Structure 1
Amino acid sequence: MARTLIRGGTVVDGRGGEPAAADVAFEDGRIVEVGPGLDGDEAVDAAGMTVLPGLFDCHVHVTMDGPDLLRSLGQPFSYQFFRAAANLSATLDCGITTVRDAGGADLGVKTAVDDGLVEGPRMQIAITILSQTGGHNDQWVPSGCSLELVGGGHPGQPSPIVDGPEEMRRKVRELVRAGADVIKVCTSGGVLSPRDDPRHPHFRDDELLVCVTEAAAADRFVMAHAQATDGIKAAIRTGIRSVEHGIFLDDEAIAMMLERGTWLVPTLVAPHAVLEAAAGGARVPPESLRKAEEVVGHHADSFARAVAAGVRIAMGTDSGVGVHGTNLTELELMAKGGMAPLEVWRATTSSAAELMGLGDELGALEPGKRADVVLLAGDPTDLGDLKARIRGVWKDGARLR
Structure 2
Amino acid sequence: MKLLFALCLLPLLTFAQTTYLHCGKLITGTDDEVLTEKTLIVTDGRITAVEDGYTEPADRVTAIDLRDHTVLPGLIDLHVHIESQSSPTAYMERFTLDPADVALRATDYCRKTLEAGFTTVRDLGGSGVNVSLRDAINKGYVVGPRIFTAEKAIATTGGHADPSNGRNDELTFDAGPDAGVINGPEEAYKAVRTRYKNGADCIKITATGGVLSVAKDGSGPQFTDEELAAIVAAAKDYGMHTAAHAHGTEGMKRAVRAGITTIEHGSLMDEETMDLMIEHGTYYVPTLSAGKFVAEKAKIPGYFPAVIVPKALSIGAALQETFKNAYDHGVKIAFGTDTGVSPHGDNAKEFVYMVEAGVPPLEAIRAATVTAAEVLGMAEELGQLQAGYLADIVAVPGDPTEDIGVMLEVDFVMKEGQIHHGGN
TM-score, normalising length: structure 1: 0.94
Q: CA deviation at 1:245?
A: 0.6
* C-alpha contact (below 8 Å) 2:295/2:317 kept by paired residues: no
Q: Write the letter of the residue equivalent to 2:93.
A: S
Is 1:31 aligned to residue 47 of structure 2? yes
Equivalent in the alignment of 1:6? 21
Is 1:315 aligned to residue 335 of structure 2? yes
Is 1:354 aligned to residue 374 of structure 2? yes
Q: CA deviation at 1:218?
A: 0.5
How far apart in 1 are the matches of 2:66 and 2:131? 37
Runs in 1 of length 4+ with deviation above 6 angstroms?
none
Deviates more, 1:97-106 or 1:271-280: 271-280
Deviation per residue, 1:15-36 (Å, 9 max, x gap)? 2520011221111111011131
Distance 1:107 1:136, change over 3 A: same
Among candidates 404, 407, 414, match of residue 383 of structure 1: 404
1:244 is paired with a residue of what secondary structure? strand
Deviation per residue, 1:17-56 (Å, 9 max, x gap)? 2001122111111101113133432111112210000001
Q: CA deviation at 1:336?
A: 1.4
Equivalent in the alignment of 2:168? 143
* C-alpha contact (below 8 Å) 1:246/1:266 kept by paired residues: yes
2:182 is paired with a residue of what secondary structure? coil
1:46 is paired with a residue of what secondary structure? strand
Is 1:54 aligned to residue 74 of structure 2? yes
Q: Write the letter of the residue equivalent to 1:398.
A: Q
Deviation per residue, 1:294-313 (Å, 9 max, x gap)? 01342122111111012111
Among candidates 381, 388, 393, match of residue 373 of structure 1: 393
**Root-mean-square deviation (CA), in Å?**
2.0
How far apart in 1 are the matches of 2:171 and 2:322? 33
Is 1:301 aligned to residue 317 of structure 2? no
Q: Write the letter of the residue equivalent to 2:152.
A: T
Equivalent in the alignment of 1:19? 34
Q: CA deviation at 1:355?
A: 0.8
How far apart in 1 are the matches of 2:270 and 2:359? 19
2:187 is paired with a residue of what secondary structure? helix
* C-alpha contact (below 8 Å) 1:244/1:264 kept by paired residues: yes
How far apart in 2 are the matches of 1:336 and 1:356? 27
Distance 1:278 1:254, change over 3 A: closer
Among candidates 108, 113, 117, match of residue 91 of structure 1: 113
How far apart in 1 are the matches of 2:316 and 2:298? 15
* C-alpha contact (below 8 Å) 1:140/1:146 kept by paired residues: no
Among candidates 384, 394, 398, match of residue 414 of structure 2: 394
* C-alpha contact (below 8 Å) 1:185/1:223 kept by paired residues: yes
How far apart in 1 are the matches of 2:170 and 2:280? 40
Among candidates 117, 122, 131, match of residue 100 of structure 1: 122
Q: Write the letter of the residue equivalent to 1:125.
A: T
Is 1:263 aligned to residue 278 of structure 2? no
Is 1:183 aligned to residue 207 of structure 2? no
Q: Write the letter of the residue equivalent to 1:212.
A: V
How far apart in 2 are the matches of 1:97 and 1:282? 35
Is 1:76 aligned to residue 97 of structure 2? yes
Query: Any gaps of 5 or more consecutive residues in structure 1?
Result: none
Q: Write the letter of the residue equivalent to 1:5.
A: Y
Distance 1:46 1:249, change over 3 A: same
* C-alpha contact (below 8 Å) 2:78/2:334 kept by paired residues: yes
Distance 1:312 1:16, change over 3 A: farther
Q: Write the letter of the residue equivalent to 1:18.
A: E
How far apart in 1 are the matches of 2:291 and 2:172? 21
Query: Any gaps of 5 or more consecutive residues in structure 2?
Result: 1-15
How far apart in 1 are the matches of 2:172 and 2:332? 35
How far apart in 1 are the matches of 2:204 and 2:17? 41
Equivalent in the alignment of 1:202? 222
Q: CA deviation at 1:278?
A: 4.9
Among candidates 110, 119, 134, match of residue 110 of structure 1: 134
* C-alpha contact (below 8 Å) 2:215/2:308 kept by paired residues: no
How far apart in 2 are the matches of 1:271 and 1:375? 27
